[in-house]
Structure 1
Amino acid sequence: MAVVEIVSFGYLHDAPPAAHLTIDLRDHFRDPHVSPELRDMTADDEPVRAAVLGTPGVAALVLATASAVEALASGPSAGVITVADGCAGGRHRAPVFARALAELLSDAGHGVMVRHRDLDKPVVRR
């Protein structure tokens, strides 16, 4: 089994971190930021998790990303596999996605480390 590092981030804060796989969640999945009741919450709050995980396509992308990690892990290299996933501000979609991916990979026997680069940064006012 592989060691996998998952980094969630917000594109509006800084450049994406270096990674073997980078998943951009901005254009294809509704941003909880547009809902005033969710805007100041984070992935630590159940309403945000439910909104993100209930978005059509998110679960399928988590599964597809896990499959890509499995493919990388089956190769001859024994290094850490890094997955970066980003949304606009790094407080909603990206950390929820990262945690769902981490759970799936951990259940499959991989060693998983998760870091949320921008989760605790202030809400980006747009």
Structure 2
Amino acid sequence: MDNLPVVDTLPVFELRFYSAQWAGPALQMRHIFDEVSVDIRNYLTSLHGEDAGKLLSAVVVDVDEQPELADRFTVQAVPTIQLLDGNEPILSLVGARPKIAVRNAIIESIEKRGNIAVSTNKKE
């Protein structure tokens, strides 16, 4: 048993964009969500190497098609961007915002979790 490999366990984050077809601001924010998702994957890759893209999933939720999900996570307006660590919401951004503000808020929330900023897999 002493020869078992050591495995790094890193959190898996989910980035959700709650939207609706009738919501103009949500439709305008969609491209920002897509761009920020890529930025956050790149950020995680810079910390943890090439497989870090697996640490973040990005999901678009239409509140009219999935009202139970919006209710469960207390989404009361669109657009809303949520960051979840596992099944726990750690950030909710309601309303339209500039890309840099969204990106910085997400990175700050990830860093506050404390368990993502350092990895033994990081290549020097």
The question of a shared fold, defined as TM-score above 0.5 by the shorter chain, is answered with: no
**TM-score normalised by the chain length of structure 1:** 0.30
The structure with more helix, counted as a fraction of residues: 2
Q: Which has the larger radius of gyration?
A: 2
The TM-score with structure 2 as length reference comes to 0.31
Quick one: higher RCO (CA 8 Å, sep 6+), 1 or 2?
1
